[in-house]
Chains A and B, each alone.
Chain A
Amino acid sequence: MLVSFAEAAAILDREDYGEVARANATFLLSNLQKTGCCFAPTRPANQS
């Protein structure tokens, strides 16, 4: 979805699609990392 919205924004000159893509990426990079969930595991999974 991220690729589709990012590329569609550029191809169709749709800034609103660009905003969707930015919001999507920001959510994935900030919220999920902050909760220790997905993209930056800092400790072994068996430790709570």
Chain B
Amino acid sequence: MNAYLEDYANLIHGLIALYESTGEFEWFENALGLADKMIEQFWDDEAGGFFFTGQSHEQLIVRSKEWLDNATPSGNSVAALALLRLALLTANDDYRRRATTILRLMADQIRRYPSAFGFALSALDFYLSSALEVAIVGEGHDSRLQDLLRAFWHLYLPNRVLAVCTTSFEQAASRIRLLEGRNNLKTQPTGFVCEGYVCKSPALSGDELRKQLTLK
């Protein structure tokens, strides 16, 4: 039995969160690999959006698409948000374009029945906001790094992405655009708060980072 769209989308969404919370790059690499696989298997090249079943699934009369967020969000809603987050982290515009297509396809129905599109609305809010791009770089055992991470995680910031690097900077920066040119591993743990890849002055303490994150 092959996985369905929502299996891929939710796992990608989860792996991004796991990378953000641990800084362990392997989870991010897995999220990227699965996102590319999801696009290859489920994307509708003609009309846009993701089918519910993949190309490797047994042949059906119709390949349907799920849009409504019920008790669990639809695969297309979760995929849209996951692709928007990956687009910000990697600067890969293809992910953003596909997410935009999904949201456009949903737009009419969202206007008519907003209560049936809770998760899609979160993705739309992320898309329409200037989501914060935050990078935190430092040696894992340094208490100043923990201070920066604590400052970030103790704020409610729904529309943001976080790139964390505690080791192997070159490897991480080769895939995560947000880290490029911010190799502070050998110096002092540093936080960067950016929008459109333009960053404020580097934050060297939790207090400084907190101020920058709340002064939007």
Contacts and interface: CB of A to CB of B under 8 A. Distances in A.
A11 B153 contact: yes
Interface stretch (B12-20, B102-110, B170-178): B12-20
Between A3, A11, A43, the greatest number of chain B beta carbons within 10 A of the residue's beta carbon is seen for A3
B17 A46 contact: no
A29 B7 CA distance: 12
Contacts of A37: 1-3
Contacts of A22: 18, 22
Say what secondary structure dominates the interface of chain A.
Answer: helix
Interface of B: 1-3, 7-8, 10-11, 13-15, 17-18, 20-22, 27, 30, 34, 37, 41, 54, 56-59, 149-150, 153-154
B11 A28 contact: yes
B2 A21 contact: no
Nearest to A2: B14
Interface string A6-24: 1101110100001001101
Given A10-B21, A29-B11, A43-B56, 9 more contacts: A2-B11, A2-B14, A7-B20, A7-B21, A7-B153, A21-B21, A21-B22, A37-B3, A38-B1
Interface of A: 1-3, 6-7, 9-11, 13, 18, 21-22, 24-25, 28-29, 32, 37-41, 43-46
5 contacts: A2-B13, A2-B14, A2-B18, A7-B20, A41-B56
A41 B15 contact: no
A10 B58 CA distance: 41
Contact of B41 (A21, A29, A41): A41
B2 A6 contact: no
A9 B23 CA distance: 12
B3 A44 contact: no
A9 B2 contact: no
A10 B56 contact: no
Between B1, B2, B58, B154, the greatest number of chain A beta carbons within 10 A of the residue's beta carbon is seen for B2
B56 A45 contact: yes
A32 B8 CA distance: 12
Nearest to B4: A38
Contacts of B154: 11
Nearest to A44: B56
